[in-house]
Structure 1
Amino acid sequence: MTQVIVHAGFHKTGTSSLQDYFRKIRHRLPDGIAVHLKEDFLDAGNLARRYGQRPYPWRRRRFARALRRYLATVDERPVHILSWEGFSGIMPGHRRLTGPVRNIRRAAIPLAHTIIAELRRRFGPEVEITFLYTLREPESWLRSVHGHLLRSIRLTEDFDRFRAGFAAPIRLDDEAARIALAIAPLPVVTSWLDDTKQRHEGPAAALLDLLDLPESLRATLPPAQKTNAGNSDEIRAQCLALNLSVGDDRELKRLKDALTGFNRPAQRAAARR
């Protein structure tokens, strides 16, 4: 029987660190475990993100077809891991025609149902599917989201104004609980960033725990390294000033890339993950 673990988010919860770690250790895992990351299913990943920004039914169908095409190419293994935060949609705070995205579950629940359907289509109705959602405390998470958006889009709100735009704080554990209720009885596992960031494997420890690997193997794995760290308060303030003052989008991007180091190949690669 095939087992599939879907790490579907959430954004800014150590996902880059988790995925980078699995890029480094995938060759050390038993042959029966296949690791699939964003760059492996790029079309499906981008379409999930677009659906999250504007959750039209036809966009969900396009995502389903893209995921189906990818799954048709994978070989038979006892265990498959699919990890990308875009499987829960787009990061809250991004703009759409009706205003900023203010929740996760609106897109994450339909996407989860679509992922389940396509996994069952590929591996059969008896496939064992587990969803993993990584979590972070509300204030720390929202600050990280705000900093990311200052860098990546023309966000013109300081943190206090940005936070005031949410009717209530987004609690990622509540979002995960709503998703779990919607896809029951499939298991949904959650892991807090604060509980894993000090572990040897960092945030990846939560996913490794689900694999039931021999302790002798885990003892040989390298220590995790933090990736895609947030910018300092000073750099965030400068990004905000640029967003308010520079009218040309290309020039704005160039200046922010230079300021934050995203002109470096390694940084650009991390941003795409």
Structure 2
Amino acid sequence: MHVILHPGFHKTGTSSLQRGLAAHDSIMAPRLRYVLMTEMPEVIRAARKYSRKPKPMNLVAFGEAFDACLEALEDDTSRPLLITSEDLSGLIPGKFGVETYAASSALMDRAVDRVLARFGPETKIDIWYTTRAPEAWLRSVYYQLLRGTRLTEDFAKFQMNWANAARLEDVVAETARLVEHKATVDAGRLEVCANTALGPLGMFLDRYRISTQGLPPLPVENVQPHGVAEELLAINRSKMSDKVATEAKRRILNKYRSAGATTQAAGGSA
């Protein structure tokens, strides 16, 4: 039995990987089975809660939710099993008081223990993170928070205040320390696959020697259009009510989507 846990991080191509799997389910089914975010809502809810309030009881609740998810799976050893969601690392830093991915390592340690309990001590477990260069990651997080919150900092101040959150490699190292002798831990940088036809999905499949034959190129989505951050920041700093501001941001983003500015052809850079 081979289980691969992919706990993100956010803004490192995770959505692209998951969309690729879902879009090509008929091709991938004989090669890989996988569990996406939508198939484990209680697990995700518990992981987010633990990242907000890292109390022992919340970690126990995450383990119980993970147990229930695993119990629903068949003992199929013919294909690797991938469990993938960026929220397995908790909430993205910047939301609800979460400042870093400090919760991720403990969540993965608990997940590994539950996998071993479910499938047996001989189970091969890999934890595979996707990471990104700190400044590029912070710019992407900044853009997401501009869209979803009333963030009013300019990027220079945001980058200074949230530098610790961008230390993704430190989280990977801490996870490796915690699960030593139980699982292997590896990471792939988004920059390595940014200009490839399959992006993060291709990087994952290559890493675990799963065939990419027959998979068409994937477009790059959620691209940040030039100038949009400044427009969103102006709205956030305005005296608009939250309701009016949300509608104004929706109109701006729809304008860019209609113009095709949020999607690039495969081979482009995000």
The TM-score by the shorter chain falls in which range?
Answer: 0.7 to 0.9
Contact 2:137 2:166 (8 Å CA) reproduced? no
Q: 1:261: Cα distance to partner?
A: 2.8
Structure 1 211/169 Cα, relative in aligned 2: closer, same or farther at 3 Å? closer
Task: Return the letter of the residue paired with 1:245.
Answer: S
2:209 alignment partner AA: D
Displacement of 1:103: 2.1
For the residues of structure 2 that align with 1:202 and 1:179, how far apart are their CA atoms? 25
Cα distance in 1 for partners of 2:35, 2:165 equals: 32
**2:88 matched to which residue of 1?**
87
Equivalent position SS for 2:8: coil
Distance 2:164 2:189 in 1: 20
Residue matched to 1:229: 223
Give deviations 1:88-108, integer Å, cap 9, x for gaps. 122122242xxxx3321x201
| Aligned counterpart, 1:27 | 26
Task: Choose which of 233, 241, 253 in structure 2 pairs with 1:240.
Answer: 233
Q: Using the TM superposition, give the Cα deviation of residue 30 of structure 1 relative to its aligned residue in structure 2, in angstroms.
A: 4.8
AA aligned to 1:12 is: K
**Residues 168 and 81 of structure 1: CA distance in aligned 2, closer, same or farther (over 3 Å):** closer
Pairing 1:124-135 to 2, within 5 Å after superposition: 124-135=120-131
The 1:59–1:251 alpha-carbon spacing in structure 2 relative to 1, beyond 3 Å, is farther
Given residue 201 of structure 2, which amino acid in structure 1 is its aligned partner? A
Map 1:174-193; keep pairs closer than 5 Å. Answer: 174-185=170-181, 186-193=183-190
Compute the RMSD of aligned alpha carbons.
2.1
Moved more, 245-254 or 170-179: 245-254
CA contact (8 A) 1:17 1:228 kept: no
* Number of aligned positions between the proteins: 253
Residue type of the alignment partner of 1:71: L
Q: Distance in 2 between matches of 1:51 and 1:240?
A: 30
TM-score, normalising length: structure 1? 0.85
SS of equivalent residue, structure 1 residue 261: helix
Q: Is the 8 A contact 2:105 2:171 kept in 1?
A: no
Preserved contact between residue 14 and residue 200 of structure 2 (Cα < 8 Å): yes
CA distance in 2, matches of 1:247, 1:134: 37
Matches within 5 A, 1:50-69: 50-69=49-68
Q: Is the contact made by 1:34 and 1:77 (CA closer than 8 Å) also made in structure 2?
A: no
The 8 Å contact of residues 13 and 141 in structure 1, kept in 2 or not, is answered as: yes
Deviations 1:178-220 (A, max 9, x none): 2212221321111111111222211112221243234xxx231
Which whole-Å CA distance do the structure 2 matches of 1:128 and 1:110 have between them?
A: 19
Q: How far does residue 53 in structure 1 lie from its aligned partner after superposition?
A: 2.4
Gaps of 5+ in 2: 258-270
CA contact (8 A) 1:64 1:115 kept: yes
Normalised TM-score (structure 2): 0.86
Please name the residue that 1:4 is paired with.
Answer: 3
